[in-house]
Amino acid sequence: MAGDADSHAAGRAPGRAVSARATDDGEPLLSVSDLVVEIPTRHGTLRPVDRVSFTIRAGEILGVVGESGAGKSITGAAIIGLLDRPAHIAGGSVTLSGLRIDQLSERELRRVRGGRIGTVFQDPSTSLNPLKTIGDQLAETALAHLPITRHQARERALQSLVDVGIPAAAERLDAWPHQFSGGMRQRVVIALALIGEPELVIADEPTTALDVSVQAQVLTLLRRLCTERGVGVMLVTHDMGVIAETTDRVAVLYAGRVAEIGPTQRVLTDAAHPYTRGLMGSTPDTSPSRDIGDRLVQIPGAMPGLANIPTGCAFHPRCPSAMSICEQREPHTTELSDSAVRCWLHEDYP
């Protein structure tokens, strides 16, 4: 098998035990319920996130997929309270292990960030402070969120580098961010996200800026570390291939709403929502099961801008299965056996 550094770390024990996190009784780790984000502008109020609901269990990876403008990044930002003013949460709730976090003060939020929710963003060069060694950054984060001594923090920093597969970790501990390659930096960012022993990690396009060979490594690492430690992951991306290979469940966003949510394999192979089916058909793929000659499915038009969201179902102007009711009323969310879909095709309407 691959003899890479990742497998050396496989036998290590994870951090805090999962059971300490109040998720034993089957309660989801993160529960987002009818979340609404609004941005007041001169031309009216925009709603980049419009009643979005989903849950994440401990150790589960939920993919949030959508094209640009769908609201997936804003959803992540709202959860950790990093919305740029004047955007604000205008409705719904965000609950982490039973505690509501959408209405916390900035000070309380600071303790949540890093300690209970870790983040991995797209650009590693802006996530790491170029003026501090990575050992210092890791140790500081650990100290800020865990009741340990300086000496212990440094040891944990070293351990975290080993866990994410940085070779010669002891020497690299005092290196500067610019001395690492892109993929290595992103691994450090993952280490930084996990060192505070969070319950949840929000990863927003963590591999989009990386070469494909590194992407596979980083995603494998993220998946392994999180499932091992029982950390829930919200993986935001536009790449369906990444969703297919990395996530357990997936939420498909369109124009700020959840079009469909369910187990990844089921949603991707047998989508309930026409948009999901369109996305799958229009994604080119290298798998041998796809015939080379097949023409890519084309969804006409483009995602509407926030100021021009159509009435009724936001997708209806582009939908091959649109019916007259789709233009008039917004579909409710229909719960299927293990998933949910917002589409009139699946709703029993009077």
Partner 1 sequence: MRPSPDASDPSQPLVEVQGLTRRFDVSSAWLTRVVRREDKRILSAVDEVSFQVNRGETYALVGESGSGKSTIAKMVVGLLPPSAGSVLIDGTDPARARGAAMSALRRRIQMIFQDPYASLNPRWRVADIIGEPIRTFGLASGAEVVKRVDALLEQVGLSAGDAGKYPHEFSGGQRQRIGIARALASEPELIVCDEPTSALDVSVQAQVLNLMRDLQRDLGLTYLFITHDLSVVRYMADTIGVLYLGKLVESAPREALFTRPAHPYTRMLLEAAPRLDGFGRVHETDGGEVPDPISPPSGCHYHPRCGYRTDRCDRDYPPVRALAASRVACFEAERVIEDGRASVPTTTA
DSSP bridge pairs for 88: 38
Q: Which stretch binds partner 1 (CB under 8 A): 3-11, 95-103, 191-199, 324-332?
A: 3-11
Closer to partner 1 by Cβ: residue 116 or 172: 172
Binding residue for partner 1 (CB under 8 A) from 117, 203, 236, 268?
268
182 scored as a contact of partner 1 (CB under 8 A)? yes
- How buried is 70 (Cβ within 10 angstroms: 0-12 exposed, 13-18 middle, 19+ buried)? buried
Closest CA to 336 of 278, 262, 236: 262
CB contact burial 148-167 (16+ within 10 A = b; e otherwise) = eeeeebbebbbbbbbbbbbe
Binding residue for partner 1 (CB under 8 A) from 51, 57, 132, 238?
238
Q: Contacts with partner 1 in 275-334 (CB under 8 A)? A: 278-290, 292, 295-300, 302-303
Assess contact for 64 and 76: CB atoms under 8 A: yes
Q: Contacts with partner 1 in 152-181 (CB under 8 A)? A: 165, 167, 181
C-beta of 237: minimal distance to partner 1 in Å? 10
Closer to partner 1 by Cβ: residue 297 or 323: 297
Strand 117-120, strand 200-204: pairing = parallel
Closer to partner 1 by Cβ: residue 86 or 301: 301
Binding residue for partner 1 (CB under 8 A) from 19, 41, 45, 68?
68
Distances (CA, A) of 286 to 209, 291, 292: 20, 10, 9
Radius of gyration of the chain, Cα coordinates, nearest whole angstrom: 21
240 scored as a contact of partner 1 (CB under 8 A)? yes
Cβ count near 318 (within 10 Å): 18
Closer to partner 1 by Cβ: residue 140 or 260: 260
Distance CA 234, CA 228 (A): 16
136 scored as a contact of partner 1 (CB under 8 A)? no
Q: Which stretch binds partner 1 (CB under 8 A): 80-88, 150-158, 216-224, 328-336?
A: 216-224
Q: Which stretch binds partner 1 (CB under 8 A): 19-27, 97-105, 188-196, 265-273?
A: 265-273
C-beta of 304: minimal distance to partner 1 in Å? 10
Structure tokens at 135: 């050992």
Q: What angle do CA 221, 9, 161 make, to 5 degrees?
A: 75
71 scored as a contact of partner 1 (CB under 8 A)? no
DSSP bridge pairs for 40: 45
Distance CA 282, CA 115 (A): 40
C-beta of 303: minimal distance to partner 1 in Å? 7
Q: What angle do CA 63, 53, 297 make, to 5 degrees?
A: 50
Q: Contacts with partner 1 in 12-51 (CB under 8 A)? A: none
346 scored as a contact of partner 1 (CB under 8 A)? no
Structure tokens at 12: 């290590």
> What residues line the site for partner 1 (CB under 8 A)?
1-6, 67-68, 165, 167, 181-184, 211-217, 219-220, 238-242, 244-245, 264-265, 268-269, 278-290, 292, 295-300, 302-303
